[in-house]
Structure 1
Amino acid sequence: MDWKIFGTAFITLFLAELGDKTQLAIITLTAKTDSKIAVFLGASAALVIVSLLAVLVGGALTQVVPAEWLQRIVAVAFIVIGVLMLFGKL
């Protein structure tokens, strides 16, 4: 296993998810129930599956689109989403 890639993926996802609307939704859901383990397991399973889909789609896309271009496309998409959020369109 490439521990450098593991660490990069962990830190990237951890920082991206910290304080986002998904985490806030989970906090709210946890506050409304006594079944905290069920919330944790459900949220964990969802994050694992979403991450699996990202890995599978990313792997498939790099077979068709060069990784450098894929990185550029994603960067532009993030900028567009940020601008749309800034102007209240998202």
Structure 2
Amino acid sequence: MIDKILKFLSYWYLQYELVTCLYVFEPWEKKLLNGIIVIIIALVSYSTYAYLPHYTVSLLSHFNLLNPETGDYQHQIAHVHGSSPRAY
């Protein structure tokens, strides 16, 4: 079972190296570029976690899909679609 998992991971790592052309670099260059890629992914993940919720709320408020006082968006969406809001 572990052997299958290792084969699976090494297959996808090989695909990653082929797509990014990392296979032509020396080991220290691979580590440097992989480190840069990991840092970029970490920064994008953090900024998505930190800023996307506020941006989504402001976007919904801009299009009047969110009541800014109560944060109730179900009533606003139901009003747009012409039905009564769902009770959860």
TM-score by length of 2: 0.38
More helix by share: 1
TM-score by length of 1: 0.37
